[in-house]
Amino acid sequence: MVRDVRMRGFAERADVAEVDAFLADHVERLAAEEVALLECTGRVLAEGVSAQVDVPSFPRSAMDGYALRGEETFGASEYAPIAFELIGTALPGEAFEGDLGKNQAIRIMTGAPIPAGADAVVMAEVCSEPAGGQSVEVGEAVPPRKNVGAVGEDIRKGDAVLAAGRRIRPQDAGLLSSIGRPQVSCVARPRVRLVITGNELLPAGSAPSGVQIVDSNSVMLRGLVARDGGELLRFEILPDIPERIREAMADGEADVVLVSGGSSVGQEDHAPRLLGELGSLDFHGISMRPSSPTGVGRIGSRFVFLLPGNPVSCLAAYEFFAGPTIRRLGGRSPSWPHRRVKLPLARKIASAIGRTDYVRVAIEAERALPLATSGASILSSTVRAQGAVIVARGHEGMAEGEDVEILLYDEEPEILPENPERMEGTVRGSSNFGGQS
């Protein structure tokens, strides 16, 4: 089976910085959508939120104790308590409906409404109730407003409580609930279409067989897209048939299309040509290692990334270009979301002026050890590595001992079960909030 083949290299390669700048210029956050309160944590507010109510909306007790008129306690002390007539109880959600007269008090719980006629709360610990429960001996003088949460003390009606662009934290969602918001306007989640092509690919979950290998890129990309707040559209592996690839790339539902495989300049690399026909292939061939065959383009308002099929190249191309785009569309920071740590290099990294390198490093003995593998298909290197170091284009490399910033793959400090002492160490004492930065 001999076919007509045309093979060529890339005419010229773009800088990573050029592609970055292009994306920064062209990617805008998506439109807003209403999101239910219980779904909004982690989403980005499209509009600022102002409170329509005061919180609290009634004066409430900040203590368990006795509500009374503060000035009537003046002169009270442990040794000279003042007696008040006890005429009732206020509980959270259950007001005392009466009006306090002279030298009257009620029992009150934290959060309960302060009754009419009262202006202060004396805490229970300094009071005593003689048998019978008809009165209370107050052993401390309190000024008016003591232990009373005033109307609007937490949030005042009309206050701007959360700004547009805010990524909603758990406590923000709590606050939105407390001001009675059933939903909020959030930036839509970018819809991402994965177009994985390759006649050699078996679906995830299969056993590799003969010359068929199992698709791993879609599995990895799925996790990265989820991390970046994207929503994955339906997915299937496509054969290397141009018409099928064209149809998938043209998917009108998607905000972002990630094409894995067939991105280079070889015989079966249909994706670049198809992208050029359907829209624009703005970049193809980028001066970086790995991932140099990466392509970036647009079809209408959709951003299309041609990711190399080799898993490490696919990972790096995603992190450099697709990830920032998905986060930016969703209103999040385009910055890489990784934790960072600065450590000296255990061994030099060779690079080349004009090229950006993505180097996997292991951390050993508090030093960053570049993993000696050039194979872009060596997925296991990203598994053995603790993170990546970026060598910017202006550098020929980095010297042994030089401090480098490592973008850590783990989202949080790791625990090795082989080393339980390390786990204990972060917990004993009052320092379980300790750990690596």
Residues 133-162 that bind a copy of itself (CB under 8 A): 133, 149, 153-155, 161-162
CA 207 to CA 347: how far, in whole Å?
Answer: 38
CA 96 to CA 88: how far, in whole Å?
Answer: 7
Q: Least distance to a copy of itself from the beta carbon of 298, Å?
A: 18
Q: Are 176 and 36 in contact (CB under 8 A)?
A: no
Nearer to a copy of itself by Cβ, of 278 and 289: the residue is: 289
CA 28 to CA 174: how far, in whole Å?
Answer: 29
Q: Which of residues 31-50 bind a copy of itself (CB under 8 A)?
A: 36-38, 41-42
227 binds a copy of itself (CB under 8 A): yes
- 347 CB-side CA count, 13 A: 11
Of 21, 263, 60, residue with least CA distance to 150: 60
9 binds a copy of itself (CB under 8 A): yes
Q: Using CB under 8 A, which of the segments 77-85, 295-303, 344-352, 389-397 binds a copy of itself?
A: 389-397
Q: Least distance to a copy of itself from the beta carbon of 231, Å?
A: 15
| DSSP per-residue codes, 259-298 | EES--SSSTT--HHHHHHHHSEEEEE-BSEES-TT-EEEE
CA 2 to CA 56: how far, in whole Å?
Answer: 79
Q: Which two tokens stand for residue 34?
A: 């209403």
398 binds a copy of itself (CB under 8 A): no
Nearer to a copy of itself by Cβ, of 71 and 125: the residue is: 125
Q: Least distance to a copy of itself from the beta carbon of 87, Å?
A: 8
Q: Which of residues 280-339 bind a copy of itself (CB under 8 A)?
A: 309-311, 315, 319-320, 324, 331-337, 339
List the alpha helices (DSSP H) in 250-387.
Answer: 271-278, 311-317, 323-329, 379-384
Q: Which amino acid is at 210?
A: G
CA 51 to CA 155: how far, in whole Å?
Answer: 7
Indicate which single residue of 67, 76, 105, 175 sits in contact with a copy of itself (rule: CB under 8 A): 175
Q: Least distance to a copy of itself from the beta carbon of 147, Å?
A: 11
CA 288 to CA 16: how far, in whole Å?
Answer: 7
Q: Which amino acid is at 49?
A: V
Q: Least distance to a copy of itself from the beta carbon of 390, Å?
A: 5
Q: Least distance to a copy of itself from the beta carbon of 155, Å?
A: 5
- 58 CB-side CA count, 13 A: 14
Q: Which of residues 361-380 bind a copy of itself (CB under 8 A)?
A: 375, 377-380
256 binds a copy of itself (CB under 8 A): no
Q: Using CB under 8 A, which of the segments 75-83, 274-282, 295-303, 408-416 binds a copy of itself?
A: 408-416
Q: Using CB under 8 A, which of the segments 60-68, 73-81, 271-279, 297-305 binds a copy of itself?
A: 60-68
Q: Using CB under 8 A, which of the segments 71-79, 138-146, 220-228, 248-256 binds a copy of itself?
A: 220-228
Q: Least distance to a copy of itself from the beta carbon of 291, Å?
A: 14
Q: Least distance to a copy of itself from the beta carbon of 319, Å?
A: 8
Indicate which single residue of 243, 253, 300, 433 sits in contact with a copy of itself (rule: CB under 8 A): 433
CA 234 to CA 142: how far, in whole Å?
Answer: 65
Residue 249 parent element (H or E) = helix 242-249
Q: Which of residues 83-142 bind a copy of itself (CB under 8 A)?
A: 86-89, 91-95, 107, 109-113, 124-125, 129, 133
Q: Least distance to a copy of itself from the beta carbon of 252, Å?
A: 25
Strands 397-398 and 349-350, sheet pairing: antiparallel
CA 290 to CA 5: how far, in whole Å?
Answer: 25
Nearer to a copy of itself by Cβ, of 17 and 350: the residue is: 17
Indicate which single residue of 81, 137, 244, 426 sits in contact with a copy of itself (rule: CB under 8 A): 426
Indicate which single residue of 99, 396, 402, 410 sits in contact with a copy of itself (rule: CB under 8 A): 410
CA 117 to CA 98: how far, in whole Å?
Answer: 9
72 binds a copy of itself (CB under 8 A): no
Residue 390 parent element (H or E) = strand 387-391
